[in-house]
Structure 1
Amino acid sequence: MTLRHFLTLSDLSTAELNQIIDRAIQLKRMQHQNEVYQPFVGKVMGMIFEKSSTRTRVSFEAGMSQFGGSAIFLSSRDTQLGRGEPIEDSARVISSMLDIVMIRTFGHDIVERFAKYSTVPVINALTDDHHPCQLLADVQTFVEHRGSIKGKTVAWIGDGNNMCNSYIEAAKMWGFKLKVAAPVGYTPKAEFLNDCVELVDSAEAAAQNADLIVTDVWASMGQEEEQKIREKAFAAYQVNEKLMDIANPDCLFMHCLPAHRGEEISETMLDHKNAVAWDEAENRLHAQKALVEFLINENLKPA
């Protein structure tokens, strides 16, 4: 049996991704009804953080606890990873003591190398290139509010960053059209583009006929020193009520959070009648629980 990991969306088939979304909705219903479901008593997740987080840590840790298992928080300050131990060596040792590992780090090659030498499933909880767990939550949110995302038009407005890259991959996996509006110099790298993506030259062009508008902060973690430069470059790319008026009347708005009000979004955008960022944030818990359940069960299948 080949060990299954989740480093990018394409590590799973579209059918498997949809299975996880459906299961996430079911797990959410169970949790809201206070139904105790603990299939993983005694199972332990390792959570390796080289980038700080709120939603990622809380959602994975709470999810494992609700499943009856536990999670160990590991920062680079607390482990030999931060002192130069080869990733390959750390992967061999850490995975021998755990049932599943999630990693939130910088270079995507780090999660790839760790997964290569791990004996348990590895989840990419964010790298500089991809953020696939957030896409599971986003698609779950869209499905809950509007039904299937297949054939819909999604507008990504802002930086061509890791979230944008995962939206590009999601467009191919789920079959929706993606329009990306980013300033010159901040468009996604060519290596991430595919035939489901259209690069447009303004936020207004992206919003036209959109069923979903998504954005992210202008300066991601590690780019704080570029804040002032980016504020100038992205000034015309704010998502606000005027931009939503260009989109379809039932167009949803999402943001992976944390949001900088008055920058990439207007001060009141999170209160817009079609904004679903709070549902989107909660769904990190449910989508990741469905993902963890899928990966652990896949690994338990007989060879």
Structure 2
Amino acid sequence: MTGSARNFLEFHDIPEAGLRSIVARAGDLAKAWDERAMPQSLAGKRVALIVDDGGWRNTTAFDLGIQAMGGICAHVPGFNAREEIGDLSGYLGNWFDMLVIRTKEFATLKAVVAASPVPVINARTRSNHPCETLGDLAYINSRRSSIDGLKVVGVAADANILRSWAEASIALPIKVVQVYPERWHIGDAALINKRFRVSTDMGELTDADVIITDSWPSDATWEALAGYRIGTDVLDRLREDAIFLPCPPVTRGQEVTAEAMAHPLCQSRAAKAFLLHAQNALMEWVAT
């Protein structure tokens, strides 16, 4: 964990026991949400929501969740290039109990944490997106009653979504396999561990519990990636209880076909509901 505060910059910033408690708590909060009986766990807490790179899904969920649990959410404009990050962090720490930040560079978050007197949550960077993975794991746990021993196959390039799954394999007993052409394999030594590996073989999907995708890299050609597109022909060969989670924004016709989005194994919409619940559970944990 970074420093003494309960920061969440990378998935493995939180010990396994903490992650398990958050994932389980997300299931409780999902029920409370449906019953319109949310606990007021953030009552009296002031949370800054800083969006520095666009996006809307998880930041909207943060805003809604903070209010639903009794907290105060203030939208703060993106970082001012004329002021030092350390100075800004200190100023915000005068007013807020927690900072939730969506920004492009992971280094920006590190600089904020180094100077912030209050906890910081990573709402997304170009390097990783731990809240997205946390939400997916909470959904998977709600379906399977466990996340132990999962085989997660990421048909995706080295980018923020897949990197957060690799981070998760450091902290949790899940296996993650990247299946993609070698040119786009993850090579970051900080993410390599005994539960993460790379492959070019689409046969890895056959016994997968979970399949995730991400947008095609901008420097890719159709010829290079056509064999890694997920269509109904691929999904029909998977296990009946497999969970297919194409990562939004989905580019139909590239990483997935339009038909694959309507396949029974595709559970993206239901899973993304848990983004709210997992982030709420995370904020509870951070605020404790």
TM-score tier by shorter-chain length is over 0.9
CA contact (8 A) 1:55 1:281 kept: no
Cα pair 1:3 1:120 within 8 Å, conserved = yes
1:69-88 pair list within 5 angstroms: 69-76=71-78, 81-88=79-86
Who is 2:110 aligned against?
A: 112
Change (3 A) 1:232 1:86: farther
Q: Following TM superposition, by how much is the alpha carbon of 1:247 offset from its aligned partner in structure 2, in angstroms?
A: 2.7
**Is the contact between residue 218 and residue 231 of structure 1 (CA under 8 Å) also seen in structure 2?**
no
Alignment CA distance shift 1:231-1:90 (3 Å): farther
Quote how far apart the aligned CAs of 1:15 are. 0.8
For residues 210-260 of structure 1, the C-alpha deviation after alignment (integer angstroms, 9 at most, x for no partner) is 1111011124xxxxxx36x45443222112222223332211101231211
Q: Is there any run of 5+ residues in structure 1 with no aligned partner, and where?
A: 220-225, 298-303
CA contact (8 A) 1:209 1:246 kept: no
> Partners of 2:142 and 2:7 in 1: how far apart?
26
Instruction: Kindly indicate whether the alpha-carbon contact (under 8 Å) linking 1:256 and 1:281 is maintained by their aligned counterparts in 2.
Output: no
In the alignment, which of 232, 240, 247 is matched to residue 238 of structure 2? 247
* CA shift in 2, pair 1:264/1:294, >3 Å: same
- Match of 1:21? 23
Distance across 2 between alignment mates of 1:170 and 1:276: 20
- 1:4-83 map, 5 Å: 4-76=6-78, 81-83=79-81
Which residue, 270, 275, 283 being the options, matches 2:261? 270
In structure 2, the residue matched to 1:138 is 136
What is the CA–CA distance in structure 2 between the aligned matches of 1:285 and 1:206, rounded to whole Å? Answer: 31
- The CA distance in 2 between the partners of 1:75 and 1:231, in whole Å, is 38
Deviations 1:99-148 (A, max 9, x none): 11111112211111101111111001111222111111011111111221
SS in 2 for 1:268: helix
Residue 301 of structure 1 corresponds to which residue in structure 2?
A: none
Shift of 1:65: 0.7
Mapping for residues 118-197 of structure 1, pairs under 5 Å: 118-191=116-189, 192-197=191-196
- SS of 1:73's partner is strand
Of stretches 288-297 and 250-259 in structure 1, the one that deviates more from structure 2 is 250-259
Tell me by how many angstroms 1:36 deviates. Answer: 4.1
Partner of 1:222: none
Q: Which residue of structure 2 aligns with residue 235 of structure 1?
A: 226
Match of 2:197 in 1: 198
Query: Structure 1 vs Structure 2: percent identity of aligned residues?
Result: 27
Matched positions, count = 285
Give per-residue Cα distances to partners, 1:40-65, cap 9 Å, x unaligned.
23322111112111211110000001
Q: Give the Cα–Cα distance (whole angstroms) in 2 for the partners of residues 74 and 40 of structure 1.
A: 19
Cα-to-partner distance string for 1:271-295 (whole Å, 9 max, x where unaligned): 2112111122111110000000111
Which range moves more in the overlay, 112-121 or 244-253?
A: 244-253
Q: TM-score, normalised by structure 2?
A: 0.93
- AA aligned to 1:39 is S
Match of 1:217? 215
After TM superposition, where is structure 1 displaced by more than 6 Å over at least 4 residues in a row? none
- 2:273 maps to 1:282: yes
